[in-house]
């Protein structure tokens, strides 16, 4: 009673409670810290250092608890007192810059502030910034930071290399990705982790199709004792189901191995891979439908698993669009409530494409207009299924109404293509004005407006038959 730990201990507890999502306990600790700081009135230096430490840990705790705006309040308190947050605090803020339309710019702004204030980046901060750059396909900038980190004698980890490899893979730079992978595995502190192996498999499955290289990294992964994840199995299935020559027997074997793996659950992405291979690659409509209809009764489908889900449904609609089956699009669209599937922007994109191709641009418009725009500056939520190896990120902090389906930039692209495909240039220009009003990042706006330069544009686009769904 009446006895409090040192500020250093309280600070560590605040950060821990934030990571655990225990906000009430976090704030209780913060209030307790104020009492400790008041008791240090006769030790001004200790009081000042303690105050900065507690504010810094509040940034870390709140950022990890997804209370980013509150974390920035404590950041500003430190800046207003002519101090600087720690590298860990900047890393936490940057890591949790999410759900905005330009995460990378916001993250780099924080990193530049950190450097301008003389804060020395640590490995966590470097890894976080490089990861953000990787996701934004800014491979050159990521490698530049990597060299800067090495010049400052900060030793890279497997996480660093994983992020760099991902950056190179996203821009299709297979040579740099291979070089970095080899360099990573040669490091004395190398600890095999699944992400780089999955990244290399994905590079050679979707970006630069080469089944032999996919299997090389899959076998290397097994050799070093890394267990496959849901995403690994999905990539392995795609390697057999999308790369010519299509090998449906090997794809089915990979799926059967997944079903038999007690450590990994069958997910919508795996069913989608089967449907896409049979429907889009093999052009076997009946088999694609049969797979979809078999899901509820499959042994791997547990009660309340919500399968088939939106990802599976999207794959089926993509088959109908690819094989020009507008009557089936309408038939299965009507079953959405019965199936308990949540509409997403990506399903809507395919419906827009399908109806436009069937000559019904009015219904395509109806689908488009039934969607909503997220608040300005916020990335469209609820459209993405969780990544194969990760749970869905909570979005409660956005206070967005449940059940609303939000347009993605690709939805605007689909509708512009639909209008142009029917010769409705004025309607397409009107859509572009609405896009401009949304204040998307310049790269997004230019990508959408660039469609207007293609006189031969059609709602089908080029190479649609070989495309896979869920392209942002």
Q: Which letter does DSSP use for residue 296 in this model?
A: G
Closest CA to 169 of 137, 211, 215: 137
**DSSP, residue by residue, 251-289:** HHHHHHHHHH-TTS---HHHHHHHHHIIIIIS--HHHHH
pLDDT at 395: 43
For helices 326-333 and 345-357, give the axis angle rounded to 10 degrees.
140
Q: Are 84 and 40 in contact (CB under 8 A)?
A: no
Q: How many CB atoms lie within 10 A of CB 99?
A: 20
**Cα end-to-end span (Å), the chain:** 56
* 280, two tokens: 């889009």
CA torsion 396-401-403-409 (nearest 10°) is: -80
How far are the Cα atoms of 70, 86, 92 from residue 67, in angstroms, in the given order?
6, 18, 11
How far is the C-alpha of 325 from the C-alpha of 316, rounded, in Å? 11
pLDDT at 317: 97
pLDDT at 460: 45
* 401, two tokens: 């109404």
Angle formed at CA 275 by CA 391 and CA 263, multiple of 5 degrees: 40
The phi, psi pair for 345, rounded to 5°, reads: -65, -30
Closest CA to 317 of 331, 305, 303: 331
How far is the C-alpha of 241 from the C-alpha of 239, rounded, in Å? 6
* 295, two tokens: 């899901």
> Taking the chain (472 residues) in consecutive chunks of 10 residues, what is each chunk's mean pLDDT?
78 95 94 91 90 96 93 95 94 82 81 94 94 87 91 90 92 94 91 94 96 97 96 98 97 98 96 98 97 96 88 97 95 93 94 95 96 71 49 45 82 95 94 89 87 63 42 39
- E-strand ranges in 168-327 read none
Here the contacts of 143-150 (C-beta below 8 Å, separation 24 or greater) are 143/167, 143/168, 143/176, 149/121, 149/123
Q: Are 355 and 329 in contact (CB under 8 A)?
A: yes
Look up tokens 């919508």; give the residue.
268
pLDDT at 54: 95
pLDDT at 2: 58
pLDDT at 388: 45
Q: Are 197 and 217 in contact (CB under 8 A)?
A: yes
0.85 surpassed by pTM: no
How far is the C-alpha of 401 from the C-alpha of 33, rounded, in Å? 37
pLDDT at 398: 45
Look up tokens 């769904």; give the residue.
469
Q: Domains along the chain?
A: 1-83 (no CATH), 100-191 (1.25.40.10), 320-388+404-472 (no CATH)
* 128, two tokens: 């976080």
pLDDT at 138: 87
pLDDT at 1: 44
Q: How many CB atoms lie within 10 A of CB 310?
A: 23
């Amino acid at each position: 009673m009446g006895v409090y730990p040192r500020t250093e201990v309280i600070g560590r507890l605040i950060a821990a409670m934030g990571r655990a999502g225990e906000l009430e306990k976090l704030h209780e600790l913060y209030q307790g810290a104020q009492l400790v700081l008041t008791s240090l009135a006769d030790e001004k230096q200790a009081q000042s250092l303690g105050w900065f430490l507690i504010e810094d840990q509040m940034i870390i705790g709140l950022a990890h608890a997804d209370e980013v705006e509150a974390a920035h309040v404590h950041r500003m308190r430190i800046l207003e007192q002519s101090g600087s947050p720690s590298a860990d605090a900047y890393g936490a803020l940057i890591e949790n810059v999410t759900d905005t339309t330009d995460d990378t710019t916001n993250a780099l702004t924080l990193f530049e502030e950190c450097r301008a204030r003389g804060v020395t980046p640590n490995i966590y901060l470097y890894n976080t910034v490089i990861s953000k750059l990787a996701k934004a396909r800014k491979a050159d900038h990521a490698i530049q930071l990597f060299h800067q980190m090495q010049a400052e004698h900060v030793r890279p980890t497997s996480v660093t290399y994983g992020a760099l490899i991902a950056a190179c893979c996203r821009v299709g730079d297979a040579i740099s990705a291979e070089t970095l992978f080899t360099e990573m595995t040669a490091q004395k502190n190398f600890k095999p982790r699944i992400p780089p192996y999955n990244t290399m498999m994905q590079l050679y499955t979707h970006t630069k199709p080469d089944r032999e290289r996919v299997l090389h990294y899959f076998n290397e992964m097994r050799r070093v004792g890394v267990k496959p994840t849901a995403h690994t199995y999905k990539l392995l299935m795609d390697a057999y189901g999308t790369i010519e020559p299509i090998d449906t027997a090997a794809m089915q074997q990979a799926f059967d191995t997944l079903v038999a793996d007690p450590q990994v659950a069958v997910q919508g992405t795996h069913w989608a891979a089967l449907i896409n291979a049979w429907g889009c690659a093999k052009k076997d409509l009946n088999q694609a439908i049969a797979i979809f209809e078999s899901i509820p009764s499959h042994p791997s489908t547990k009660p309340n698993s919500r399968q088939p889900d939106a990802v599976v449904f999207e794959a089926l609609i993509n088959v109908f669009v690819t094989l020009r089956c507008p009557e089936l699009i309408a038939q299965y669209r009507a079953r959405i409530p019965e199936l308990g599937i949540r509409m997403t922007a990506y399903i809507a994109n395919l419906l827009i494409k399908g109806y436009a191709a069937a000559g019904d641009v009015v219904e395509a418009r109806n689908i488009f207009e039934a969607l909503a725009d997220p608040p300005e500056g916020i990335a469209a939520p609820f459209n993405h299924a969780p990544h194969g190896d990760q749970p869905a990120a909570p979005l409660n902090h956005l206070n967005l109404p449940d059940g609303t389906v939000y347009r993605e930039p690709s939805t605007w692209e689909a509708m512009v293509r639909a209008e142009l495909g029917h010769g409705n240039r004025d309607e397409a220009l009107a859509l572009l004005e609405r896009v401009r009003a949304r204040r998307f990042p310049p790269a997004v706006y230019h990508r959408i407006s660039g469609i207007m330069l293609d006189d031969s544009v059609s709602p089908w686009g080029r190479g649609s038959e070989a495309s896979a769904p869920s392209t942002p």
